Amino acid sequence: MSILVDEKSRVIVQGITGRDGAFHASQMIAYGTKVVGGVTPGKGGQKTDGGVPIFDTMADAVAETGADTSVIYVPAAFATDAICEAADAGIKLVVCITEGVPVLDMVRVLPYLRERGARLVGPNCPGVISPGKCKVGIMPGQIHMRGPVGVVSRSGTLTYEIDYHLTKNGFGQSTCLGIGGDPIVGTNILDALELFAKDEETECVVLIGEIGGSDEEEAAAMIAKGYPKKVAAFIAGQTAPPGKRMGHAGAIVSGGSGTAAEKIAAFKAVGVDVAAIPGEIVDLVARLLPSKGAPKRKSKGAPKRASKSAARPAAKGKKGTR
Amino acid sequence: MKIHEADARALFTKFGLPVPPSRLVLNPEDARKAAEEIGCPVVVKAQVLVGGRGKAGGVKLASTPEEAAAKAKAILGMDLKGIRVEKVLVARAVDIAKEFYVGMVIDRRSRKPLMMVSPAGGIDIEEVARTAPEKILKVVVDPAWGILPFQMRRMTASLSGDKETAKKIGPILAALYRAFMAVDASLAEINPLVVTPAGEVWAIDAKINIDDSSLYRQKEVAALRDESSEDRGEVEAREAGLSFVKLDGSIGCVVNGAGLAMATMDMIKHFGGQPANFLDIGGSSSPDKVLTAMRIILRDTNVKSILINIFGGITRCDDVATGLLEAKKQLGGDVPLVVRLIGTNEDRAREILRGTALIAAATMEEGVTKAIAAAKR
C-alpha cells in the first residue's frame, strides 16, 4: 500500500521556477511522480521546459489540476505562507523541504493545517518516497526499491545511507518518510508509526532518530503498549556535546535531556534493537524479516537512474508466509 | 543565538518588566561612576555567555563606588569557563526576601509555548527539575489567546499566597510572554524573580536565547550577536553556510548532512578513534565548501587525518573527486585525507583518486577505519 504518497498522488510544486524547484521537479517527473502543476506568483500561464503548467496561486492550481499534494521549494522567509496557502487551497499533504522556518511559525501553522484537514511533512526534510510509485522530495530515487520496510527518519543523507544498505541487501521499502530536523515538525515519529501500523505493505519499521526532544522516547512508550509491526532503530549523536546545536535546529541536548544514550536505552528497554552503526540496520532487519531479503546480487556500482521498470520490486527469493 | 544579560535586561525593560537600573562598563573607573549614578549597594556581574557565572566568581556585591571599582577590576580580564571577561554590568542590588524562577520555552511535546514557574528560584532550575519536579508548574500557552486569566491565577498562586505579591507577578508573566513572542525567543528566563522585604518585585537576572531561524526577521536582535565568545571556526563556518562544532579528538570530518555527520562522528568513536569536530556542509558537495571546511578543521593542530564522507545521490561523484583533488592542491599540507563518495559514478571517482594524495574508501566503515589508521601514521 505505502503511506502518504502513491501512484495516484497529484503533485503541485511550489517554487517550481526557482533553481531547486525546477531541478527537483524534473527529477520527480523522471521518477514517475505525477507532477500536475507548479506555482510561482507572477509566472502563471507559462509552462516549464518539461511542459508543466505554472499557476500564480495554489487556488488556481488546485482548481485546474485537482491536485491533492504539494511540495515546497521556497526560501524560509516565504515557506510558512506557502504552507498555509496550500492548505487553504485544499491540499491534503504538504511537504516542505525548506530549512530555516522560524519555530514560532510552526507553532501557528500546525493548528491552521489541522483545521483544514491538511497534513504537513517537514519542514527541513528530504520528503517522502514510496518506491516504484511516487517521489515527493529530493532523495535520490535509484537507491530505493519497493518492499516491506517502512522507514521514518529525522535526517536526510543518513536516511539515504541506510536506505542504500537496505536496498543493496534486498530489503525494499514501502515508504521512506523524512520528517525533518526541526524541533517542531508537521508529522512526527509517532504519527509516522501510526501510519505504518495501518499499512499492509509495511511489515517492519526502521526508525532513524537523533539527539534532541523526546519523540523517540514517546515512540518507545507507544511500542511498549503494543505495536503491530516489528521495529529496529538507529540513533545519531552519541558523541554530540551537550548544549550544542548539531546542524539540525532540533538536534540539541538541552538541560541534560534528549541524549542519544537515553533514546537508545528507551528503545532497548521495550525490546527494539538499536544498530550501533548505520550498516548494522540490515542485520537487525534481516532478523526481523527472516524470509525476506535477496541473496547478494552481482550488480556493480550504484543502481541505474530509476525508470518505472527499474523501480519494480526485486525478485523476493524465498517468500514464506507474507 | 545567545545574547548577553545586559541586552536581555534591556529587552525586558522595553516590554515593561521591572528590571533594576544598570550600566554596562568596560573598566573599573566607569564601574565606580556607574555605582555612584545608580546608588549603592550594587552588584557587579561578568557579561559572558556561559552559565554559572556566580559560582565561578563572576558576580560580586559592592557597597560603595570604590568597592564596585575594585570588584570590576577583579572580574574584568578573568577567564570564566574559557572565555575572557571584557565587560561587566553594574546593577542596583535589591534585598531578597523570596526568589522565584520564571521561564518560557517552546515545548516540543505540545508544540506550543510553555511557561514554567517555581517558588524555588535562585538555584539551578535543572537541579530542581531533577530533584523536586513537583516544585515546577508548567503551563502550556495557546498563542491564539496568550496567558488566559485562569492560567495566570494558577501560576501566581503557585508562587505566592500573598495577594499583593500575586498582583505584581501577573503583569510580569504577561510581559515575559509578550517579550518572548515578539523576539522569536527559544528561551526566556528570569532566575531569580525576587520579592524584597518591602514587597517589591524585581527581575534581577535575565536570559534570552533567540531562535536561529528567526534572525532574518529579527534584525535588531540579530545585531546583538557577540561573536567574541564563539569558537572562531564556528563563526567562520556559519558565515560560509556550514555547521561546525569543535570537539577535541584527532579525526576531522566533513560530511553532507547533519544526521550523517553525527553518525560519522559516532562511527569514528565506535571504531576507536576520537572525532575532532562535527561539520555539515549542507545538501551540497561543492568542492568550494569542502575546501572552506578543511581550512577550518586544519587550524586545529590536534587533527591528524580528515574523513570526507559525502553521500552524493545523484551528484556526480567523479566531479566531486576532481574538485577535491584540486582543493587538496590548493590547501597543501600533509594531513591525510580519506574520501568516501557514494552515488552516481562512484567507481569512476575511486579511479580518479587512485594513486593520488587522497585515500579512497568504498564504504563509510572503510572510510572511518582508514582515517583512524592514517591518523596514527
HEC assignment per residue over chain B: CECCHHHHHHHHHHCCCCCCCEEEECCHHHHHHHHHHHCCCEEEEECCCCCCCCCCCCEEEECCHHHHHHHHHHHCCCEECCEECCCEEEEECCCCCEEEEEEEEEECCCCEEEEEEECCCCCCHHHHHHHCHHHCEEEECECCCECCHHHHHHHHHHHCCCHHHHHHHHHHHHHHHHHHHHCCEEEEEEEEEEECCCCCEEECCCEEEECHHHHHHCHHHHCCCCHHHCCHHHHHHHHCCCEEEECCCCEEEEECCHHHHHHHHHHHHHCCCCECEEEECCCCCCHHHHHHHHHHHHCCCCCCEEEEEEEEECCCHHHHHHHHHHHHHHHCCCCCEEEEEEECCHHHHHHHHCCCCEEEECCHHHHHHHHHHHHHC
Interface test with B, best of A96, A135, A157, A158 (most B CBs within 10 A): A157
Residue B61 lies in a domain: yes
Give the gap in angstroms from C-alpha A104 to the nearest C-alpha of chain B. Answer: 7
Residues 65-84, chain A: which have Cβ within 8 Å of B? 76-77
Interface test with A, best of B110, B219, B311 (most A CBs within 10 A): B311
Domain ranges of chain A: 10-121, 139-288
Q: d(Cα B60, Cα B88) in Å, to the nearest integer?
A: 11
* Residues of chain A contacting B238 with CB distance shorter than 8 Å: none
Q: What pLDDT does residue B345 have?
A: 84
Count CA atoms closer than 13 A to B176's CA, side-chain side. 33
Contact B217 A159 (CB under 8 A): no
Query: Do residues B124 and B201 both lie within one domain?
Result: yes
Q: What pLDDT does residue B285 have?
A: 66
Of residues B287 and A68, the one with the higher pLDDT is A68
CB-based contact, A269 to chain B, within 8 Å: no
Of residues A311 and B58, the one with the higher pLDDT is B58
- The single residue of B5, B101, B236, B346 carrying the catalytic annotation is B101
> What mean pLDDT comes out for the span B159-174?
94
Query: Do residues B294 and B364 both lie within one domain?
Result: yes
Would you say residue A315 has pLDDT above 50?
no
Give the gap in angstroms from C-alpha B69 to the nearest C-alpha of chain A. Answer: 34
Work out the mean pLDDT of chain B and round it to a whole number.
93
Interface test with A, best of B247, B248, B262, B268 (most A CBs within 10 A): B262
Q: What pLDDT does residue B322 have?
A: 86
Residue A226 — left, alpha, or beta (φ > 0 → left; ψ -120 to 50 → alpha)? left
- The single residue of A24, A144, A165, A248 carrying the catalytic annotation is A248
- The single residue of B5, B67, B177, B189 carrying the catalytic annotation is B189
pTM of the model: 0.92
- Percent of chain B topping pLDDT 90: 75
Query: Do residues B52 and B156 both lie within one domain?
Result: no
Q: What is the ipTM of this complex?
A: 0.93
Q: What pLDDT does residue A300 have?
A: 45
The x, y and z cell numbers of residue B289, run together, are 565548501
CATH of residue B136's domain is: 3.30.470.20
Residues 248-267, chain B: which have Cβ within 8 Å of A? 255-263, 265-267
* Residues of chain A contacting B217 with CB distance shorter than 8 Å: 77, 102
Query: Do residues B154 and B256 both lie within one domain?
Result: no
Residue B272 lies in a domain: yes
CB-based contact, A249 to chain B, within 8 Å: yes
Q: d(Cα A190, Cα B131) in Å, to the nearest integer?
A: 29
Which CATH number, 3.40.50.261, 3.40.50.300, 3.20.20.70, 3.30.300.30, labels domain A139-288?
Answer: 3.40.50.261
What band does A298 get if pLDDT is binned at 50, 70 and 90?
very low
Partner residue facing A155 (CB), from B113, B144, B259: B259
Query: Do residues B122 and B193 both lie within one domain?
Result: yes
* Residues of chain B contacting A27 with CB distance shorter than 8 Å: 314
Residue B1 lies in a domain: no
Sign for the pseudo-dihedral over CA of B220, B168, B140, B51: positive
Query: Do B309 and B255 touch, CB atoms closer than 8 A?
Result: yes
Query: Do A207 and A216 touch, CB atoms closer than 8 A?
Result: yes
> What mean pLDDT comes out for the span B272-285?
88
Of residues B161 and B261, the one with the higher pLDDT is B261
CB-based contact, B137 to chain A, within 8 Å: no
Q: d(Cα B352, Cα B308) in Å, to the nearest integer?
A: 16
Contact B283 A156 (CB under 8 A): yes
What band does A303 get if pLDDT is binned at 50, 70 and 90?
very low
* Residues of chain B contacting A184 with CB distance shorter than 8 Å: 106, 108, 111
Would you say residue B255 has pLDDT above 50?
yes
Contact B346 A155 (CB under 8 A): no
Query: Do residues B125 and B173 both lie within one domain?
Result: yes
Which CATH number, 3.40.50.720, 3.30.700.30, 3.40.109.10, 1.25.40.10, labels domain A10-121?
Answer: 3.40.50.720
Lowest average pLDDT, out of A18-27, A216-225, B149-158, B230-239, goes to: B230-239
Q: What pLDDT does residue B319 have?
A: 82
Query: Do A93 and A119 touch, CB atoms closer than 8 A?
Result: yes
pLDDT tens, B65-106? 999 999 999 999 999 988 899 999 999 999 999 999 999 999
Give the gap in angstroms from C-alpha B95 to the nearest C-alpha of chain A. Answer: 29
Contact A300 B262 (CB under 8 A): no
CB-based contact, B240 to chain A, within 8 Å: no
Q: d(Cα B342, Cα B302) in Å, to the nearest integer?
A: 28
What band does B232 get if pLDDT is binned at 50, 70 and 90?
confident
Give the gap in angstroms from C-alpha B66 to the nearest C-alpha of chain A. Answer: 38
Residue B331 is which amino acid? L
> What mean pLDDT comes out for the span A268-279?
97
Q: What pLDDT does residue A295 have?
A: 58
Q: What pLDDT does residue B329 have?
A: 86
Q: What pLDDT does residue A314 have?
A: 43
Residue B6 lies in a domain: no
Query: Do residues B198 and B321 both lie within one domain?
Result: no
What band does B344 get if pLDDT is binned at 50, 70 and 90?
confident
Would you say residue A307 has pLDDT above 90?
no
Q: What pLDDT does residue B284 have?
A: 65
Q: d(Cα A24, Cα A312) in Å, to the nearest integer?
A: 22
What band does A234 get if pLDDT is binned at 50, 70 and 90?
very high
Would you say residue B287 has pLDDT above 80?
no
A vs B, Cβ pairs < 8 A, gives 173
What band does A304 get if pLDDT is binned at 50, 70 and 90?
very low
Q: A188 phi and psi, to 5 degrees?
A: -100, -175
Residue of chain A nearest B366, judged by CA positions? A279
pLDDT tens, A35-59? 999 999 999 999 999 999 999 999 9
Q: What pLDDT does residue B5 have?
A: 97
CATH of residue B256's domain is: 3.40.50.261
Contact B112 A107 (CB under 8 A): yes
CB-based contact, A299 to chain B, within 8 Å: no
CATH of residue B86's domain is: 3.30.1490.20
> What mean pLDDT comes out for the span A107-121?
98
Q: What pLDDT does residue B82 have?
A: 84
Query: Do B272 and B306 touch, CB atoms closer than 8 A?
Result: no
pLDDT tens, A180-198? 999 999 999 999 999 999 9
- Percent of chain A topping pLDDT 70: 91
Would you say residue A1 has pLDDT above 80?
no
What DSSP element (H or E) covers A136?
strand A134-137
Residue B198 lies in a domain: yes
What DSSP element (H or E) covers A288?
helix A281-288
Query: Do residues B208 and B125 both lie within one domain?
Result: yes
Partner residue facing B214 (CB), from A102, A214, A246: A102
Q: Is B177 marked active-site? A: no
Query: Do residues B344 and B367 both lie within one domain?
Result: yes
CB-based contact, A184 to chain B, within 8 Å: yes
Residue of chain A nearest B1, judged by CA positions? A245
Would you say residue A322 has pLDDT above 50?
no
Interface test with B, best of A103, A115, A153 (most B CBs within 10 A): A103
CB-based contact, B56 to chain A, within 8 Å: no
* Residues of chain B contacting A301 with CB distance shorter than 8 Å: 345-347
Range of the domain at B152: 98-222
Partner residue facing B266 (CB), from A76, A154, A236: A236
Query: Do residues B109 and B57 both lie within one domain?
Result: no
Decide if A10-121 and A139-288 have a common fold.
Answer: yes
Partner residue facing A184 (CB), from B108, B212, B263: B108
Interface test with A, best of B104, B215, B260 (most A CBs within 10 A): B260
CB-based contact, A2 to chain B, within 8 Å: no
CA distances (Å), B176 to each of A6, A46, B89, B184, in order?
46, 49, 21, 12
Query: Do A118 and A91 touch, CB atoms closer than 8 A?
Result: yes
Contact A301 B212 (CB under 8 A): no
* Structural domain total, chain B: 3
Would you say residue A297 has pLDDT above 60?
no
* Residues of chain B contacting A234 with CB distance shorter than 8 Å: 263
Query: Do residues B38 and B146 both lie within one domain?
Result: no
Contact A76 B213 (CB under 8 A): yes
Q: d(Cα A62, Cα B45) in Å, to the nearest integer?
A: 59
